[in-house]
Chain A
């Protein structure tokens, strides 16, 4: 009850506040102690968020001799690219020591087929479900909604068997196809929600004009999908690039993406760990999605919130 009375009075007095000009002028422009306190607190939090990135960057340029001194936060005394070179060309993943460049190209060759497959499938499905009177569309949408939440582990073994029988298990194609399959429910829901707001007049006019499903799709729907395509692209690029579980499950020994190489490198328990190498490898893996992030900025938020249920 009390919350109501406060908010009602707040709403009521909000009208009155316009008459009290001096109060507003002071509040708007001045830098009060509270402003400073808030900004200081936010800056400290921002610093905390930056610490891991800073540590990773400086460590990757250090020599192992300096790392052994134990000053994790200090700048490198000698800046060296040795760790970067080693991580890219010679880092070991399992028994092979060809560096992360193998995983990098694997990730690239997983990313592009997977993007094309997942987005085209979801676009067509979303379009058909949103704008064509398919009788069982509602039930199918609900089923897709449920599928979007299913934990990967429960479909893992059957998918391994299916990829093995189709002889793609252990190749980049298996990883790419499984990504497309697992993303299908969420992406379809995103496209369907976007397309359902297309005015029926446009659809009716298009129908009179040609009436063909595919012509409407390619001549009207695809050109209209620019905004949602960018959001979905960001979502898919980051989630495919950052995936570990699907890559490690379906990549076998030859189809491992970069994250799997990195995980092998950092969890290795034999010999002495070279942290400069590990951090350079981590940074190499993180750079592509970070570039996307800093390029698109605000759209990234839309992308991740759209795919939030994907987890």
Chain B
């Protein structure tokens, strides 16, 4: 057979070039800049006696510390979307009535931009004219002026993120639940095993791959979280809703500190890899499992 060698390799050149320049080269470039003293304009001289000065400053920066803490808060808070998604999927799967209607409703937030989501929730959470004043008008003394206070503003961002993504996790969970043999339920019921135990002891362990996938996707999404912060609080009040993605872009655009922004970006990459490695291990493990079956 005439397996042409040249044509496919030629066809791969654009992709190779993009990977080499836009990804590999650019990562190297940014990593290099993080070792320099670059401010507004790049400087390519590294002072090896204090090559880590940008990182030193970064770890002592209160803003970075807030960003990291918010990253964890946002991660834990958004994990509610997985729990919520699982509960919704389990109920929809149990009660087949209205499945497609409920699925459509729960998933539509995913289709709109996070800027739109932020705009909507920002308006609902408006203390003077939004849901708070409405509920107070009904005589309920509620207080969710979350956006104006530093210690609660993250809750507002979590609320918007959960609203946006719960449907997505529901869809993943629903797919996982569909793969489970339906006889388990009737059998468990026959044995008089209560429903919550069936879920806790059989269904959830059987779906651990789905859960782990969701957790990894969630963590990757949390690191990238930027749009929702801009739309909801724009980092404020003060620095209270900064996240690493916001910190990095702020350092580059508002502070024009290239070296510093690069160091923060490198740290973001490091965090991504910490999450990424289990994913690779998991994929490999899943593949081996499939091959042995």
Contact A3 B201 (CB under 8 A): yes
Enumerate chain B residues within 8 angstroms of A243, measured Cβ to Cβ: 113
Query: Given contacts A153-B268, A286-B116, A304-B168, is CB(A311)–CB(B122) below 8 Å?
Result: no
Asked if A124 and B11 make an inter-chain contact with CB atoms under 8 angstroms apart, the answer reads yes
- Asked if A81 is an interface residue, CB under 8 A from chain B, the answer is no
What's the Cα separation between A64 and B19 when bound, in Å? 51
> Do residues B113 and A285 form an inter-chain contact, with CB atoms below 8 A?
yes
User: Please, how many angstroms separate the alpha-carbon atoms of A113 and B286 in the complex?
Assistant: 37
Which of chain B's residues has its CB closest to A291's CB? Answer: B111
**B145 close to chain A: CB less than 8 A:** no
B217 in complex: contacting residue of A50, A155, A290, A309, CB < 8 Å: A309
Q: Which of A72, A144, A212, A294 has the most CB of B within 10 A?
A: A72
Contacts of A218 in B (CB 8 A): none
Task: Determine how close the nearest CB of chain A comes to the CB of B216; give it in whole angstroms.
Answer: 9
**B235–chain A nearest beta-carbon distance, Å:** 10
Given contacts A286-B113, A292-B111, A304-B168, is CB(A150)–CB(B269) below 8 Å? Answer: yes
Task: Tell me the complex Cα distance, A9–B187, Å.
Answer: 8
Q: Check B171 against A153 for contact (C-beta < 8 Å).
A: no
* Given A3-B201, A39-B98, A17:B3 Cβ within 8 A: no
Q: Is A150 a contact partner of B264 (Cβ separation < 8 A)?
A: no
Question: Which of A147, A158, A281, A289 has a CB less than 8 Å from the CB of B19?
Answer: A147
B238 beta carbon closer than 8 Å to chain A? no
Which of B92, B100, B111, B198 is most buried by chain A, counting CB atoms within 10 A of its CB? B111
What is the size, in residues, of chain A's interface with B at 8 Å between Cβ atoms? 108
Number of interface residues of B (CB under 8 A): 110
Within 8 A of A (CB), among B230-256: 230-231, 234, 245, 248-249, 252
- Please give the distance in Å from A28's CB to the nearest CB on chain B: 11
Return the contact of B120 from the options A55, A158, A293, A308 (Cβ within 8 A).
Answer: A55
Q: Is B64 an interface residue (CB 8 A)?
A: no
**Complex alpha-carbon distance, A103 and B181, angstroms:** 50
Total A-B residue contacts, Cβ distance less than 8 Å: 315
Known A-B contacts A52-B117, A285-B116; A7 and B95 likewise in contact (beta carbons under 8 Å): no
Q: A14-B184, A17-B187 are in contact. Are A263 and B230 (CB under 8 A)?
A: yes
* A150 x B272 contact (CB < 8 A): yes
* Contact A282 to B129, CB < 8 A, known contacts A121-B15, A208-B1: no
**Contact between chains at A3 and B272 (CB < 8 Å):** no
B108 at the interface (CB under 8 A from A): yes
Task: Say whether, besides A42-B102, A158-B25, A267-B234, A52 and B163 are in contact (CB < 8 Å).
Answer: yes
Mark A152-176 against chain B: 1 for CB-CB distance below 8 A, else 0: 1111111100100000000000000
CB atoms of A128 and B220 under 8 A apart: no
In the assembled complex, the CB of A187 is this many whole angstroms from the nearest CB of chain B, namely: 10
The 4 A-B pairs at the shortest CB distance, nearest first, are namely A213-B7, A14-B183, A242-B113, A158-B26
Pick 28 A–B contacts, CB within 8 A, sort by A.
A11-B183, A12-B187, A39-B95, A42-B95, A46-B106, A49-B106, A49-B109, A70-B129, A121-B18, A124-B14, A134-B9, A147-B23, A150-B269, A154-B268, A155-B26, A185-B23, A213-B4, A213-B8, A244-B115, A245-B226, A282-B120, A283-B116, A285-B116, A286-B113, A290-B111, A297-B100, A301-B107, A311-B224
Query: Which residues of A does B touch, CB under 8 Å?
Result: 2-3, 6-7, 9-14, 16-17, 20, 23-24, 27, 35, 38-39, 41-42, 45-46, 49-53, 55-56, 59, 67-68, 70-73, 121, 124-125, 127-129, 132-134, 140, 143-147, 149-159, 162, 181, 184-185, 188, 204, 207-208, 211-214, 238, 241-245, 249, 259, 262-263, 266-267, 275, 278-279, 281-283, 285-286, 289-290, 292-294, 297, 300-301, 304-305, 308-309, 311
* Given pairs A10-B187, A249-B249, A300-B111, 19 additional interface contacts (CB within 8 A): A7-B184, A14-B184, A41-B91, A52-B124, A72-B134, A125-B11, A128-B9, A140-B12, A143-B19, A155-B30, A156-B252, A159-B22, A184-B19, A185-B23, A204-B1, A244-B113, A297-B100, A308-B168, A308-B217
